[in-house]
Structure 1
Amino acid sequence: MKYWNLKKINQYAFEKTGIVPRSMNKLFNRFKQELNPNAEVEALEDFKAAKYQTSTSVKYIIFLFVIPILINQVSKIFILDPLINQLWNKKSSSIFLNLSQEERAFAELQRFEEKLHFEILTGKINSLSNDIVQQKMSSKALEIALEYSKESSNAIKNIIADCFSIIIFISILIINKRQFSILKSFINESIYGLSDTAKAFLIILFTDIFVGFHSPHGWEIIIEAILRHFGLPESRDFIFIFISTFPVVLDTIFKYWIFRYLNKISPSAVATYHNMNE
């Protein structure tokens, strides 16, 4: 039975898009099944195959993402933390990895100084001598230096640990090709099995979030977080160029997918999408 299930799953996984929409094929297959005297037995076997496909896909998704994350965290805690802290904090005099970190640190120190003088002028705190003000500034500067030194060392750890995770992720994909084909079939069946309204809703939601008129600010936050995660300079020119090009490319790919695949498989969903989008 398991051999039959695998054969059935592989047929689903490598099913090609034909000239006739898949919905029409399913309609003809349903009539054919109803006239088949062995329909109950085949329905039970199809159910077992679908159950096996779902359970295998869920387990593979968990394995595919949990293992790289565990490798990432374990390598940081037990290998990279002691090693990078030893090299960066004790054998390196550097604090910043790039100019963006310096600018943020200097701006933070300047804001602290302005806040301190403002509180003195408004009488919120008692007038302080220049020595005490200088002492407070030195203490704040040391605090900022320690904070950005830690951020720099964490960025180095993130680069190495993420490389480990990517290698593990790709290795899992290469080694478990059969499970990947089952997962691909499961995703395709889940997406194309949705109702036309649900498909149109997801399409509009996806396009509005990632390629809509209000998405540039979200992309800016995401890119800044990624650059800061890896300790890369937060170049405004690069961020603006990325925002002005990548969503356009993504929108083009998405429209091509609608025209090339979804329009053949489910033309009613495309019509519903256009009606909801107008």
Structure 2
Amino acid sequence: MKYWNLKKLNQSTIEKISPLPRSITKTFDKFKQELNPQAEMEALEEFRVSRYQTIASMKYLLAIIIVPLLINQVSKNFLIGPAVDYLWNIKQPGIFLNESQEERALIELQRFEEKLHFEILIGKFPDISSDLIKEKVREKALLITNDYVLESVNAIKNILADILSIGVLSILIISGRRELYILKSFINELIYGLSDTAKAFLIILFTDIFVGFHSPHGWEVVLEIILRHFGLPENRDFIFLFISTFPVVLDTIFKYWIFRYLNRISPSAVATYHSMNE
């Protein structure tokens, strides 16, 4: 049974690219199937293969998503977290991991001072003394220090926990090559089985989000979140260079995929895409 399942999956993966449009080949295949005396048995077997493929793909997809995330959170909260907190409290290496954190802390403290002086000028604190102003600024500086100490410690925890999660994910992928192949075949059938309008809609949605006019702002936010997650300096030159090159490369790869594969498998979907995109 497993051999038959893999054989059917191999055929579905190979046959997804054809010299003729897929709609024409499907019409001929349907006509041949209706004339086949064993069509009912083959349809039942095809249903079993499709069911097996769907269940195996969902199990493997959930495994490669849930297991690394679970390992990440458990190790961060119960294994890596306490060890990093202990070592940080003993060695006390400092407050900031990079200059970007220090700049953000100084800007935050400067804004607090400006807000405090503004409130004094408008009469909100008319009788406040200079010593009390210094005390408030000092309290705010201590709060900012605590916040950035936590951010620095969490960045170290994130790096170690993510490395462990990537290791677990790599083990799952290497040990589950058969399941990965089934998942790939399932995704191919799911994507190429969509209607022409759905394919065109997903293509436009994908390109507008990742390589469209407004994508640089989204990439900038994503990069800043990732850099802060790992405690890396927010180098503006690196961010701008990435934004100016990566979406272009991604757009080129995507256009090549449309020309090389989708145009041969479903030319009507490509025509629908160009019509909707105009």
- Measured against the shorter chain, the TM-score band is over 0.9
Cα distance in structure 2, aligned partners of 1:42 and 1:3: 16
Q: What is the number of equivalent residue pairs in this alignment?
A: 278
State the partner residue of 1:45. 45
Secondary structure of the residue aligned to 1:259 is: helix
Match for residue 250 of structure 2? 250
Match of 1:118 in 2: 118
Whether 1:264 aligns to 2:260 is: no
Deviation at 1:78, TM superposition (A): 1.1
Determine the structure 2 residue equivalent to 1:237: 237
Give how far 1:241 is off: 0.7
Partner of 1:105: 105
Distance 2:260 2:23 in 1: 16
* Structure 1 match to 2:187: 187
Alignment of structure 1 residues 108-187 onto 2, 5 Å: 108-187=108-187
Q: CA deviation at 1:264?
A: 0.2
Q: Which amino acid aligns with 2:238?
A: F
CA contact (8 A) 1:10 1:181 kept: no
1:130 Cα shift? Answer: 1.6
Please list the CA deviations of residues 109-151 of structure 1 after superposition, one character each: whole Å capped at 9, or x if unmatched. Answer: 0111111111111111242112111111111111101100110
Query: Displacement of 1:2 after TM fit?
Result: 4.4
Query: Cα offset for 1:14?
Result: 5.0
Greater CA drift, 7-16 or 128-137:
7-16
Letter in structure 1 aligned against 2:39 = A
Are 1:13 and 1:182, in contact at CA under 8 Å, matched by a contact in 2?
A: no
1:211 and 1:251 in contact (8 A); partners too: yes
User: Structure 2 vs 1, CA of residues 207 and 63 (structure 1 numbering), >3 Å: closer, same or farther?
Assistant: same
How high is the TM-score relative to the length of structure 1? Answer: 0.96
Cα drift, residue 13 of structure 1: 4.1
C-alpha separation in 1, matches of 2:33 and 2:166: 45
Cα 1:13/1:89, change in 2 over 3 Å: farther
The code of the aligned residue for 2:141 comes to A
Matched ranges for 1:5-154 at <5 A? 5-13=5-13, 15=15, 17-154=17-154
SS at match of 1:100: helix
Preserved CA contact (<8 Å) 2:16 2:265 = no
Q: Is the 8 A contact 1:10 1:182 kept in 2?
A: no
Cα shift readout 1:77-131 (whole Å, capped 9, x = no counterpart): 1111111111123312410000000000000001111111111111112421121
Check conservation: 1:211, 1:248, Cα contact below 8 A. Answer: yes
Alpha-carbon distance in 2 for matches of 1:235, 1:38: 65
Aligned residue type for 1:120: I
CA spacing shift, 1:141–1:134, aligned 2, 3 Å: same
Q: String of CA shifts for 1:11-31, please: whole Å, max 9, x gaps.
A: 334556343344333222211
Percent of pairs with identical residues: 67
Instruction: Say which SS state the counterpart of residue 128 (structure 2) adopts.
Output: coil
Consecutive unaligned residues of structure 2, counting only runs of 5 or more, are none
List per-residue Cα deviations over 1:165-186 (Å, max 9, x = no partner).
Answer: 1111111111001111110011
Whole-angstrom distance in 1 between the partners of 2:121 and 2:93: 37
The alignment's C-alpha RMSD in Å is 1.4
For 1:24 and 1:52, locate their aligned partners in 2 and report how far apart those are by CA, in whole Å.
Answer: 28
Q: What is the alpha-carbon distance in structure 2 between the residues aligned to residue 11 and residue 176 of structure 1?
A: 20
Using the alignment, how far apart are the partners of 1:25 and 1:276 within structure 2? 26
Give the Cα separation in 1 of the matches to 2:2 and 2:163: 37
1:97 and 1:148 map into 2 onto residues whose CA distance is: 9
Distance, in Å, in 1 between the alignment partners of 2:105 and 2:173 is 42
Question: Partner amino acid for 2:213?
Answer: F
SS of match in other structure, 1:95:
coil
Contact 2:219 2:243 in 1 (8 A): yes
Q: Does the 8 Å contact 1:85/1:153 carry over to 2? A: yes
